[in-house]
Structure 1
């Protein structure tokens, strides 16, 4: 692990050996936060048996982590701006590591879910501040490469989780899913403590300039929205509608509170910046499309193409693997050709892949799915790296943590929305009812309809970024 991180960091080539190690100490938290999400999913059937619980109850092991990350990532970034990013990142790593140990030791499902929420809080800090710290360590001309490295490590964690989780469960049982993070967390904590530069307090943000009411309102609003999108497993009912109304009311209250706050969590004036709005909106849209490959893809492969479980797992892992392999090259291209150009190229590749998948008949078989999938995921790697670089490289140093939190939030909201809406669209297009009873032709048609809509979303993102609401020219 240490050697791999060092080699990846050397590919980015910061100005010094200490800079390479500092970058490696940011890459490992990104891998761990992604691994924390993906590794638990494979253990859900085992947890049902271990705790003699329903599948709906055990799903909260995953949901608690996602909710904590989504609701707290913006506040975590803002706290890093206030109290020091290195200091808070170390605290986040420590919390993540301790919570991982508690997860593996939990005697009841309720305590496991509570420990997962704590783990998610640590992950929120790690995700927000790893991106924010890049601007303090890497020259602006090399920011794209650093962002590409972090994207690579995040995708690696996502891709590694299911396979590593399966091996750990078979060898050591479900506690190993969480205990594996303990030595890695200690390693990341040691690297960060030794190699990250000391915090330099900015005069722009005073100690104590916090917004507890705004932070609480935002967290509750995001939690209501996330629950509305995830509860019911794609079936929208009265509870989902009530949660959406609560989210809308919370958002209204949050905007009013922030307009009057002396030190708001998010200054409303920030959203007068057309480039910022375009980047965040596009980030959410493309994440929605990426989630379609993870939610719809397995059904298409299993029911539409008739692949077995092992083959489905291997094909689904191709997407995260492509993102992992494309991350650093995408960063180099961003540094060389400019963030705006690579952002547009990435979106165009995603649109081409989505519409190709929508147009190809099922008779094309597995190649007809894999080729468009590679286009979509490679385009996503280009977009994500360039989009993050465009915002973070030119960010006000006093607000890098907040911007990083907003970027992560937009991506998470897109993933949550995609899991719900794209899954519901696919089910409706397939005729509804029991998906296992739907014939392969209907599944293939539903896949084409879903990715035609996905292609439309990418075109909307392309319009936001390329027409009027532009990322500033490099």
Structure 2
């Protein structure tokens, strides 16, 4: 059975599409990125309310967040590949509709199990939105504007992350926990209408009956990722026999996935792609950077409340400085990438992040909030610059027929980093601080945990710098 492939537009058609409504297109893709990021962060603040509403433990309520993240992680590569086969525009529209319907289902859920299932469905839609927004930038915009567009998408992701806790808290106080899910539904409808109107219609070249899709590979990859995610998050990262068994299961599923990929005619991931230096470096550095950024979200609340004595709202305001700095620097970062080249700016961004991490590791507790804010303001613009540069470098090398796959692989690397940061780095902090998150640890112990954890984060970024400076053709 032969597969259907996307028939690239002729130069005249491409120019017409790019001139048609690039700003409206970018607005729709940006809204998709914002909503998917908002869906990740807005539910965290609602966990205490959910635990109370459903008479559930914290670990049970935590699955409301975990189900969303797992859905995104396991589906990123699959939806990217599927978009390459059946058309990214139509799949993105379906993803937006799925996300919106999932938001409504979450708000109407009558039990915790139903809410978790609805969150998984919402996460599936978010996986499509996050993955294909990156891929469609290359289809809908001129090549010399891709860096700026990637910077804007990074800004929207940061805005969604920053907006989630504050918006969620305000909505819960005013309308109850259901509103934190229902509030995204109208914006999902707006995103759907913008995408429907602005995205150019793709022409599918017919070379057979229906496209082939590697379902076995998709299931094995999903099994590997779910097992890894569960191993890294079960019992809040405390490693035990069950965690070891899950890691072994993840390793076996990964091995089987690799064997399937070299045998099937239309693999989900062409393993030969990992021989490409720029893609390999981009994926590895993306995972390391995501691990460090999640560290700030995991460690920050404990340090600000237990070591610096802030209340929850004060800690939230200080932590919001990071995403706000990322949002403000996202578009300028994209312009720098367009002007000076992706590889050079990727290196600069990683260097700034490393400096910020080591500042975290060296700042004495006595400096107070300033000792936390300064490293954060150094680290987060570096993150914005790295994201714009790395995404641009990787996506520029991807041909039209595999942009969905490559963007899915980027999303996979990022989410693996987020899971690792939330679990492994959280465990490092707890071990170094001698706390499980309760208020029994002294301020000095918590500060020690911060210093040790960010010392490790800085070492990881030095590793990322070494990877980024390895072999590969520079981007002009």
By the TM > 0.5 criterion, same fold? Answer: yes
Is 1:153 matched with 2:156? yes
**What residue number does 1:237 align with?**
240
In structure 1, what is the Cα distance between the partners aligned to 2:245 and 2:157? 34
- 278-287 vs 207-216, which deviates more? 207-216
**What residue number does 1:395 align with?**
398
- 418-427 vs 196-205, which deviates more? 196-205
**What residue number does 2:40 align with?**
37
In structure 1, what is the Cα distance between the partners aligned to 2:392 and 2:206? 25
Instruction: Return the match for 1:251 from 233, 254, 270.
Output: 254
**What residue number does 1:10 align with?**
none
In structure 2, what is the Cα distance between the partners aligned to 1:128 and 1:205? 27
Matches within 5 A, 1:82-161: 82-161=85-164
**What residue number does 1:328 align with?**
331
Is 1:177 matched with 2:180? yes
8 Å contact kept, 1:82–1:207: no
In structure 1, what is the Cα distance between the partners aligned to 2:219 and 2:419? 20
In structure 2, what is the Cα distance between the partners aligned to 1:331 and 1:134? 13
In structure 2, what is the Cα distance between the partners aligned to 1:291 and 1:278? 20
TM-aligned CA deviation for residue 471 of structure 1 = 5.6
Instruction: Return the match for 1:437 from 433, 437, 440.
Output: 440
1:253-309 CA distance string (max 9 Å, x none)? 000010101100001111111211111000000111111111111111112222222
Partner secondary structure for residue 439 of structure 2: helix
Matches within 5 A, 1:237-316: 237-316=240-319
Instruction: Return the match for 2:190 from 145, 163, 187.
Output: 187
In structure 2, what is the Cα distance between the partners aligned to 1:465 and 1:383? 11
Q: What's the TM-score once normalised by structure 2's chain length?
A: 0.94
In structure 1, what is the Cα distance between the partners aligned to 2:322 and 2:86? 37
Matches within 5 A, 1:11-90: 16=19, 18-90=21-93
**What residue number does 1:218 align with?**
221
8 Å contact kept, 2:231–2:242: yes
Matches within 5 A, 1:364-375: 364-375=367-378
8 Å contact kept, 2:343–2:389: yes
In structure 2, what is the Cα distance between the partners aligned to 1:275 and 1:386? 12
TM-aligned CA deviation for residue 431 of structure 1 = 2.7
1:405-435 CA distance string (max 9 Å, x none)? 0101111110110111111111111135664
Q: For residues 439 and 471 of structure 1, do their structure 2 counterparts lie closer, same or farther at Cα, with a shift above 3 Å needed?
A: farther
Instruction: Return the match for 1:462 from 443, 465, 469.
Output: 465
Q: What's the TM-score once normalised by structure 1's chain length?
A: 0.94
**What residue number does 2:475 align with?**
473
TM-aligned CA deviation for residue 472 of structure 1 = 3.4
Q: For residues 203 and 417 of structure 1, do their structure 2 counterparts lie closer, same or farther at Cα, with a shift above 3 Å needed?
A: farther
In structure 2, what is the Cα distance between the partners aligned to 1:458 and 1:201? 42
Partner secondary structure for residue 184 of structure 1: helix
Is 1:196 matched with 2:202? no
In structure 2, what is the Cα distance between the partners aligned to 1:147 and 1:210? 28
In structure 2, what is the Cα distance between the partners aligned to 1:246 and 1:204? 38
Return 5+ residue gaps in structure 1 as ranges: 1-13
1:207-264 CA distance string (max 9 Å, x none)? 4221000011001110110111111113111111111000000000000010101100
TM-aligned CA deviation for residue 39 of structure 1 = 0.8
Return 5+ residue gaps in structure 2 as ranges: 1-16
1:313-334 CA distance string (max 9 Å, x none)? 1111111111111111100110
TM-aligned CA deviation for residue 443 of structure 1 = 1.2
In structure 1, what is the Cα distance between the partners aligned to 2:67 and 2:226? 10
**What residue number does 1:9 align with?**
none
In structure 1, what is the Cα distance between the partners aligned to 2:391 and 2:208? 23
Is 1:410 matched with 2:430? no
In structure 2, what is the Cα distance between the partners aligned to 1:433 and 1:269? 43
